[in-house]
Amino acid sequence: MLDYARQRAIQALKVYRRAVLVTSGPARVQVSEGPCAAIDLKLYLLVPQTSDHLFNLEYDPSITLLAANWVLKGTARIIPPNVLNLELGLFQVSEEEGCILVQVDPSQVQIRREQGWGNLETIEVISS
């Protein structure tokens, strides 16, 4: 990916601390808002342990995330608690209680216009 596009995607993603997660699968379409944090081009979400999102992710890891100025498409995976070696002091302790950490690897980031409708730019993220 071009350095400009990569930096633009990183810049857009790190601004927001909350996002709307959309999954689909055996539990049907699920939509909920929750805390998120970005490290480079990876996003991390806290999903309640009782959420049907986790059931859906077992069958289909494809997700969509929505924030005020961007839409992200990618794949998600549940991070086992014993693998939590990440420096994610980005979440408050109260938010972590009763939640599972989910890592999102983006495949596409659409940056929305600040005024009006539609996307300003679409960035295809190529995993290395």
Mean pLDDT to the nearest integer, 14-32: 92
Q: Distance between CA 88 and CA 44 in Å, rounded?
A: 9
Residues 64-73: pLDDT tens digits? 999 988 999 9
Query: pTM score, two decimals?
Result: 0.84
| Paired tokens of 7 | 């930096």
Q: How many domains does the chain have?
A: 1
Residue ranges making up the domain that contains 65: 3-124
Is 11 buried (19+), middle (13-18) or exposed (0-12) by CB count in 10 A?
exposed
Residues 53-94: pLDDT tens digits? 999 999 999 999 999 889 999 999 998 766 655 555 555 555
CATH number at residue 10: 2.30.110.10
